[in-house]
Structure 1
Amino acid sequence: MSAPMDEAALLAAQLLARRWLPRNHPLVRKALIDRELWEALGQRLAAVGMKVVDNVHADHIATALLRPAERAVFGEQGLAANNNLDLPRDGVALLVVLWSLIVLPKRQRQVARSDALHAGQGEMFASDKPLPPAASVSPLVSYRSLLADFGDQLGKKLRMDTNLRLLERHGFITRKGEDITEGPLLDLLIDYDQLAARVLDGSLADVLARAGHPVARPAEPAEPEEQQALDD
């Protein structure tokens, strides 16, 4: 008879089997506030070349390969590829466009709502500003609008439909009828700090603006002196 699994092993097994778990999952919620459990989970996953991916702006946690394990898994050819999910180039382009249309506005709304929620509260709460859940502020992207605005650049309807199915299968997006919404991995497996600057400061920002989807940076938090001046 096998021994019962401890909580770290059970949570690691669920993550490996399902690839992602919601932050409100009972074991995930416990791990997020229990440092020992979180560290034990990391150790269990590291033993098989994996790590936990967490982002306070996302509603899920997921797993990803550790850097030293990537070469063994994908080899030199895989590491030199533009992605390791076998997405075609137009699929990667579609992923970046959807990330820009969903994650950038979501981040703006999360920061704005968090600031508004805590506006006027005393200094006691200044360091504890929970962000609104991603699901409550994540925008919907209309399939028809996406096809009309970017279909010509992204392979027209047949290619776009094929790539949307791939992105949904990999967990980047979710389809709800004619609407496209954020999937569990869209804001986890794409580095916001790197991609946001490239989108906002690059040619894609102009392309999005011309298509009627202007994007802007989330407001930067004020420095303590600036915040005191605003409060005064």
Structure 2
Amino acid sequence: MEHEIRALTARLVAQRWLPRKDPMVRRALIDETFRAELESRLAGVGLHLLDNPYAAHVAVGLTPEALEPTFGAGREYQSSNMGLTRDEIALLVVLWALIILPKRERQVTRQNLANEGQEELFASEQPVAHGAEVSAGVSEASLIADFGPRLGGKTKVRNFMLGKLARLGFIERRNNMILEGPLLDVALDYRLMADRIIHGTLAEVLAEAGHPLPEEDAFAKAEAEDLAQDDIADDEGAF
């Protein structure tokens, strides 16, 4: 086990994220002893595993105790520890709301994109899905038309802001579509953000732009599902 732990720790630190389907990641998710040793190794350098049962990837992040010593010297730390400006953070939150919130609703209701809007027999017996089959993209042209004027204009959003979010791993850009990146569903705290977005000003901004958020009760279900992570793991087998 020593070799596997060392290798997985090194890969997480070097690559920042790994897919849940990776054999060693799967072991860390279902083997309590292996997971505890991995967390111990990461904690030794101020890191911890970022894991969301609904996300297709896992990642590493700084522990709360390591945040200030690591980033406290920089003025930008008050808003972002990844060098993001206020406009870029605003765009990131908008994309999170447009991509992750509808995705979570599909996962909670056990619906794939192909079945969206259709009744599904025995839907409650299906495992919680994650990954491409439930994560829809956002049209780049539509996003810029709706939010570009609020964020500095078309050129700034398309050529600079979206490019930066893609390089950091939050999004992927393919065929003029903006898709979920490896970090979008694990680096941003769902439990903290969902309620603030649904009940906050952003919900009104999105609705005005023609992007109404999913129904509120879906998110209450999602929070209950998150608390039952062990049950989800059993339903999914070995992930």
Under TM normalisation by the shorter chain, which class is it?
Answer: 0.7 to 0.9
Mapped to 2, the partners of 1:93 and 1:119 lie a distance apart of 35
| 2:66 matches 1:69 | yes
1:150-189 aligned at under 5 Å gives the runs 150-161=147-158, 162-189=160-187
- Specify the alignment match of 1:138 in structure 2: 135
Q: In the alignment, residue 174 of structure 1 is paired with which amino acid?
A: E
Note the residue ranges of structure 1 that are not aligned, 5 or more in a row.
122-128, 224-232
Q: Which one of 25, 32, 54 corresponds to residue 57 of structure 1? A: 54
| 2:222 matches 1:213 | no
Bigger drift between 5-14 and 145-154 goes to 5-14
- Any idea what SS the aligned residue of 1:99 has? helix
8 Å CA contact retained: 1:49, 1:65: yes
Mapped to 1, the partners of 2:217 and 2:137 lie a distance apart of 18
Mapped to 1, the partners of 2:7 and 2:121 lie a distance apart of 36
Q: Which one of 82, 87, 93 corresponds to residue 84 of structure 2? A: 87
Mapped to 1, the partners of 2:38 and 2:175 lie a distance apart of 37
> Cα distance, 1:221 vs. partner?
4.0
**Count of residue correspondences:** 213
CA deviation string 1:58-117 (max 9, x = no partner)? 000000001111121112545851111111111001001000100110001111116957
- Any idea what SS the aligned residue of 1:175 has? strand
Q: In the alignment, residue 195 of structure 1 is paired with which amino acid?
A: M
- Specify the alignment match of 2:34 in structure 1: 37
Mapped to 2, the partners of 1:120 and 1:188 lie a distance apart of 25
8 Å CA contact retained: 1:78, 1:84: no
- State which structure, 1 or 2, has the greater radius of gyration over its C-alpha atoms: 1
**Superposed structure 1 runs of 4+ greater than 4 Å apart:** 76-80, 114-121
TM-score under structure 1 normalisation? 0.85
> Cα distance, 1:210 vs. partner?
1.2
Mapped to 2, the partners of 1:91 and 1:39 lie a distance apart of 35
> Cα distance, 1:139 vs. partner?
1.2
Q: In the alignment, residue 185 of structure 2 is paired with which amino acid?
A: D
Q: How large is the RMSD of aligned CA atoms in angstroms?
A: 2.3
Q: In the alignment, residue 148 of structure 2 is paired with which amino acid?
A: G
Give the fraction of aligned pairs with identical amino acids, expressed as a percent. 47
TM-score under structure 2 normalisation? 0.83
Mapped to 2, the partners of 1:197 and 1:103 lie a distance apart of 13
- Specify the alignment match of 2:231 in structure 1: none
Mapped to 2, the partners of 1:89 and 1:30 lie a distance apart of 38
8 Å CA contact retained: 1:51, 1:64: yes
